[in-house]
Amino acid sequence: MSSVKYLIAASLLLTACAQAPQRAEIVPPAAAENVAQAGDQPGDDEQPDGLDSAAASQAFEANLPKQELTGAILYEYLVSEIGNQRGYKVLAVNGSSDLAQKTRDPRLAKRAAQLAFEAGDMEKATAAFKLWQEVEPDASVPTRMLASILLRGGKLEQSQVEFARVLKDAKANPNKMFLPIEQMLASYPDKSAALSMMRELAAPYPKVAEAHWSVAQLAYAAGDVGLAMGEVKQARSLRPEWDLAVALEAELLLKTSPQQGLQVLRDHLAKYPDAYEIRLQYARALVEQQQFPAAREEFQRVAGHSPDDPDLAFAIALISLQMNDLQGAETQLKQALNKGKKDQETVQYYLGQLSEARKQDDEAIAHYREVKAGEHEFASRMRVAYLLSKQDKLDEARAYLHQTQPANNLQRAQVSLIEAQLLRDAKRYDEAYQVLQQSLEKLPSHPVLLYETAMMADKIGKYDVAEQELRKLIQLNPQDANAYNALGYSLLERNERVPEAVALVEQALQLAPDDASIIDSVGWGYYRSGKLDDSVKLLRRAFTANPDPEIASHLGEVLWMRGDKEEAKKLLLGSLKEHPDNEQLQAVIKRLIP
C-alpha cells in the first residue's frame, strides 16, 4: 500500500473515533507555561533574522530525519492516537514514546512529550523532552519544560542546569525569563534551596534588574529580609521606573518601618503619577496605617482610572464608614451595587450597618434581610432579631432566630445566647433560663453557655444550679478568673460562706489582677469580712479603673458604714446622675440616704 493510501486510511480511522484530533502541542501548567511561552513572540531571537515564516518552515523541514512512512510506523501512530482519544493513556504514552525513539522525528518527540505530560507520567515526559531537545537543539520549549518537570520532581541540580540553559538561550533578553523562573521556584517547598538556586542563576547577570528582583523575592520568602532589601535596591537602581521593584521595596519597609515604606510609594508616584498598581498599594498601606482621609483620597484617584470597578467603590465606602461619613459611605455602597459587585450580600450587610448607625431600624432590617448567603448571613440574621426585639416584637424576633440554620456548634450557641439576652432585656428571666438550659443540654461543655446559664440561674434564685455550673466551668478551665469571681460574688451578695467566698474572689484576682470587676468583688468581700479600710482601698481602685454604677454603690455603702457619709452621699448621687436607671444604685441610695 502506498504512503498516500496509508494517509487516507489514517484519516478514515481517526474520523471513525467521533472525536476531533487533539492539537499536537505542549500545554504546560501555570508557571511552567509562562516559562515555555516567555520570549516566543514574533521577532524573538529564536527565529533567525531575515527569514519569514515560510522560509523558516522550509528550513525546519530540511532538518527533519529522512524517515520513510512505513505501514508499521503509521499503524503504531494510529494506535497511540486512537488509544489516547479513547482514554487508554498508558497505551498512548508507551506507543508515542517508542515511536519517537525509533524515528527521532522532533514532531513525534513533541507529541510523545505532550501525551506523557498530560498523562502525568513524568519519567516518560522527561525522556521525551530530552529526546526533543536532542533532535531539535534550537527549540526552546523542551528545555523550559524539562527545567519545570525536574524542579517539580525535586531534582534541583538537574533543573538548575536546564534553567541556566533557558537563560543562556534567551541571548539578548534573559530578563524575560527571570520572572517566570522565580514564579516556579517560589512554589518549591524548600525556600532556602530555591533561593540558593536563584542566586546562582542570577550571578552571571549583574546588570539585569529582573535577576536581582527574583533573588529579592525568594530571599523575602526564605526570611532573609536583609538580602531581599539589598537585591531589590539594586533592581531599582537598574530600572528606576519599574513598578514591581518599587512595590517589593515598599512591602519590605512597611513591615518594619511603615513611614519609610509609605515614602517610597509617595516618591515613586510623584515621578510616575499614572502607576496604577503602585497607587493601589499606597492606598491600601494608608488604610493599614489608619490614615483614612488620605487613603480615601488615593482610592478615589484609583477609581478615576477604573470608574466602573465596583470593588473600588466598596473600598471607598468602608473607609467612609471608618471616618463616620455616613452619607459618603451610602453613596459609594449604592454605586457598588449599581456597578454590579458580585458579592452583593456584603454590600447589603454594610448598608444595614449604616442604617443602624443612623437609627433607621426599618431600613436596616430590610438590608439585612437581603443577605441570604455568604459570610455575613448569620450576623445579619442576628441583627434582624435584635432590631425586631428593639421594636417590641420579641415573639417575632424569637421566631426569626428559630428559623436560622446554624452552620456549627459555635453558631448554635450564639443563637441561644442572643435569644436569652433578648428575653433578659425584656425581664422574662425564667424563659431566658429555659432557653440556656435547653441549649446547654445539647452542648454541655460550652464555656459561655455554662457561664450564662449560671448567671441566669443565680438571677432567678436557683443558687444550687448556678454553683454547680460554675464549679463545672472551673473544673474545665482552672484558669477562668470570671468563674471564680462569679461564684464568690454570688455567695457574698447573699452574705453566705463569706470566708470561702473571699478565697474564691482572691483566687480570681490572682488570675486577673487588673480586672476592675474582680477588684470590686474582693473589696466587697473585705466589707463582708469587716475589713472596712481594706475594702475602701480596693473599691477606690476599682472605681478609678471603671466608674461603674455597681462599683459606685459598693464604695458608697462602705464609705457610709465607715462614717464618711458626706463623701458617700456625693459619690452615690453623682453616679445616679450619670446612670439614673441603675436599679442597684437606686436601692442603695433609698436604703442609706434619708
**Angstrom distance (rounded) from CA 464 to CA 162:** 76
- Hey, what's the cell of 150? 525536574
In a domain, 578, yes or no: yes
In a domain, 504, yes or no: yes
In a domain, 37, yes or no: no
Cβ-Cβ contacts under 8 Å for 231 (sequence gap 6 or more):
212, 213, 215, 216, 219
In a domain, 517, yes or no: yes
**Angstrom distance (rounded) from CA 145 to CA 156:** 14
In a domain, 537, yes or no: yes
Residue 552 belongs to domain with CATH number: 1.25.40.10
In a domain, 508, yes or no: yes
Give the end-to-end CA distance of the chain in Å, rounded to a whole number: 125
- pLDDT tens digit at each of 594 positions of the chain: 433 333 323 332 333 333 333 333 333 334 444 444 444 432 333 333 333 455 445 544 555 666 666 777 777 778 777 877 888 888 877 877 788 788 888 888 888 778 878 878 888 878 888 888 778 887 777 878 888 888 888 888 988 998 898 888 877 688 888 999 999 899 899 999 999 999 999 999 999 999 999 999 999 999 999 999 999 999 999 999 999 999 999 999 999 999 999 999 999 999 999 999 999 999 999 999 999 999 999 999 999 888 888 999 999 999 999 999 999 999 999 988 888 887 889 999 999 999 999 999 999 999 999 999 999 999 999 999 999 999 999 999 999 999 999 999 999 999 999 999 999 999 999 999 999 999 999 999 999 999 999 999 999 999 999 999 999 999 999 999 999 999 999 999 999 999 999 999 999 999 999 999 999 999 999 999 999 999 999 999 999 999 999 999 999 999 999 999 999 999 999 999 999 999 999 999 999 987
Burial 385-396 (b: 16+ CB within 10 A, else e): bbbbbeeeebee
pTM of the predicted model as reported, rounded to 2 decimal places = 0.68
In a domain, 469, yes or no: no
Number of domains in the chain: 1
- Hey, what's the cell of 371? 443577605
Contact 166, 140 (CB under 8 A): yes
In a domain, 589, yes or no: yes
Using CA atoms, how far residue 525 sits from 121, 342, 471, 500, 568, in Å, is: 76, 58, 19, 10, 19
Q: Which domain holds residue 548?
A: 500-594
Total Cβ atoms within 10 A of residue 50: 6
